[in-house]
Chain A
Amino acid sequence: MSSLSTSWAVNMSALKRTDQLKDVKRIHIQGLSSARRLMTECDISTLASFFVLYEATNQELSEFEVLDRMHAVLTAMRAALREGLEHPNRTPSDMIDGGAFLMNTFIEGGGSLLCTPFSLVVRNALAAAENNACMGRIVAAPTAGASGVLPGAYLTIADQHAVPDERVIQGLFVAGGIGECIAIQASLSGSRHGCQAEIGSASSMTAAALTSLFSDDQNAIESAAAFALKNVLGLVCDPVAGLVEIPCVKRNVMASVNAVASAEMALAGIKSVIPFDEVVQAMDRIGCDMPNSLKETSLGGLAATPTAVRIAARFENRRT
């Protein structure tokens, strides 16, 4: 067991909870509101604590094991970001060609339009997403195609604020819990519900995790998750030539920036009028209404543009 677990032991033993939850075999939730109802009933103060308990109970693991596993996720996520920054990333299709590296040169040249940390979010989201496109080792959170969002926004900002690992890991449970609530009520799959389910979910998870780093107000966390998902409702999955490259990589950047903006709005005290679960249910219905041509089939949207069709034709003979 890592040293991390030892330091967590103190926090976890302080976790207040009634015997009601202690002895249950399985914790069922229907969404975020039912999770929050359970939290109130059992006097659990944070989403992070709740989802640690949820995972430990449902997977029959100790809380330490669950925390250690998330520590491994954090380590892998950081490594994926590092790998994406090491050298220009180029895919066999040449459609991804060193974007993060160009961003880095731009930042070093003082080109940032707002401030360097903002540009770092952009650069890091690119780096992590490009690393995925180039067969790097990544954490699919929630999917491989959206694996640049948490490293891009969440890890970058946590680093900027020197947030201790324990707190960063707690935030990853918030992210995972929000993703779980989306999976329960809708889907995390682009082929089922379009890009809104992948990039939208990643952005929502990241916004909630970011908010949790700076506030213990669970309403603010919920609002941040709702804002981020609302902003990308209807986003379609239309990858050029069927590859996780165009537009996926840049949508990771959009989702990262959206997550930061959503977290800031929530931290400012702005409340989402539509509750998170209802936003997720809307996403589910939109996903069902979406035509198949816009669900990862590459038959519509950007994938059906003249340029994309030309690119796809160029790759026809590369099926080896």
Chain B
Amino acid sequence: MSIFDVMGPIMIGPSSSHTAGAAKIGYLAHRVYGKPISRVQIALYNSFAETGWGHGTNKAILGGILGLRVDDPRIKRSFEIAAQAGIDVTFEQKIDPEKHPNYASVTFRDADGSHPFVVEGISVGGGAAKIVRINGAGVDFSGKHNLLFVTYRDTPGMMALLGDGLGARSINVAYAQISRNKNTGEAMAIMKLDQPCPDELVRYFRSQPGITDVVAINKLGSEYERTEED
């Protein structure tokens, strides 16, 4: 543990789990989505639902979604900022004893309500948070590693295509997980990479037949955790 975990984080109050953790879920969720936001629907579960209003959990998670860091005072005005940007925001509160006490589900959509993209996350205490589900697939993403997320038509050879692209650029895969939806024929691959995936490779993958979406998320670095400059 770092001394700065004790003497920190620097954050917007009042709760590291219900405010800072919520803001981080929002921030990670938008990083995973990776596109400008038009519509977002946020579901807060359990303790987030019960005490969230008094902890500013709603403002914090929306602030994170808008790209605000946990210590950004604009978190207090996140609803205003979203409205000014013309983003359609809806909230709901749910109780589900099966889920983690501090659980949130964020659904991004296109302006016409199409293309839902669902990111779910938990706040694990002390301001730390992680994404646990992306469009239904279980993941474990806390911003500490590089993530590559690809959706594609379930056809043979797709893993080879991804592996070749990464291997040719000396990018090592630390972890990979693939899954498919038999009904839609859509599959997804989630990979943890030792090196960040360059934009050029993301564009290359996107241009390949059968690939429907590619999101590359670099691990959170100093731009998120940076300390105050004065």
Contacts and interface: CB of A to CB of B under 8 A. Distances in A.
Interface of A: 51, 54-55, 58-59, 66, 68-70, 72-73, 75-76, 91-93, 131-145, 147, 172-173, 175-177, 179-180, 183-184, 188-189, 191, 205, 241-245, 315, 318-320
A194 to B, nearest CB: 15
A179 B229 CA distance: 25
Contacts of A73: 4, 7-8, 10, 227
B13 A136 contact: yes
Given A132-B14, A144-B19, A244 B55 contact: yes
Nearest to B53: A318
7 contacts: A134-B13, A136-B73, A137-B71, A140-B10, A141-B8, A144-B19, A176-B4
Interface of B: 1-16, 19-20, 47, 49-56, 58-59, 71, 73, 75-76, 91, 93, 125-127, 227-230
A319 B52 contact: yes
Which of A75, A131, A138 has its CB near the most chain B CB atoms (within 10 A)? Answer: A138
Contacts of A140: 8-11, 16, 20, 126-127
Contacts of A315: 53-54
B8 A242 contact: no
Contacts of A131: 13
Contacts of A59: 2
A188 B125 CA distance: 11
Given A173-B3, A319-B50, A139 B8 contact: yes
B57 to A, nearest CB: 10
B13 A139 contact: no
Given A72-B230, A140-B9, 14 more contacts: A69-B227, A75-B230, A91-B54, A131-B13, A135-B56, A137-B11, A139-B8, A139-B9, A142-B7, A172-B7, A175-B6, A183-B5, A243-B55, A320-B53
Contact of B3 (A55, A189, A242): A55
A304 B167 CA distance: 60
Given A136-B12, A140-B9, A144-B11, A75 B228 contact: yes
A77 B19 CA distance: 18
A263 to B, nearest CB: 18
Contacts of B2: 55, 58-59
Contacts of B5: 183
Contacts of B13: 131-138, 144, 147, 244
Contacts of A135: 12-14, 19, 56, 59, 75-76
Contacts of B4: 55, 69-70, 73, 176
